[in-house]
Amino acid sequence: MTDTIADMLTRIRNASAVKKEEVVLPYSRIKFEIAKILEKEGYIAKVEKKENKFNEILIKLRYTKGSLPFISHIKRISKPGRKVYMGKENLPIVLGNHGIAIISTSQGLMTNKEAKKKGIGGEILCEVY
């Protein structure tokens, strides 16, 4: 597997489509940071690192009272074959600022809103709404 972030996003998308309560992923620091951002922004209920023989990430998905997933769209933007970089003036606005884009910057991973406040650009990893 060459793109582990796309695999993570696909697992979350598929699990929420069939209304699973949780998703288990192989651990990597960048995937854990993406999950922490999704938790902070309210798209998932909880994320934790499970330490056993192989470290894993446990993501508890979040649903509305009508059992609709909070994540209706999650898409990988920058791929291994085509990296997408944007400067501070061209940062994406996702769904009229109702969604987020996760950006890899020189100061770490953050949302497009945080990057705009700090005045920095970077690689657009994915968008979520």
Q: What is the pLDDT of residues 62-111, one digit of tens each?
A: 999 988 999 999 999 999 999 999 999 999 999 999 999 999 999 999 99
Fold of 4-61: Ribosomal Protein S8; Chain: A, domain 1 (3.30.1370)
For the domain covering 74-128, report its CATH number: 3.30.1490.10
- Burial (CB count <10 Å: 0-12, 13-18, 19+), residue 110: buried
Domain definitions of the chain by residue range: 4-61, 74-128
Per the structure block, which two tokens stand in for 45? 């209920």
Put simply, whether the predicted model's pTM sits higher than 0.85 gets the answer yes
- Calpha distance 67→92 (Å, rounded): 29
- Calpha distance 18→112 (Å, rounded): 29
* R_g of the chain computed on alpha carbons: 14
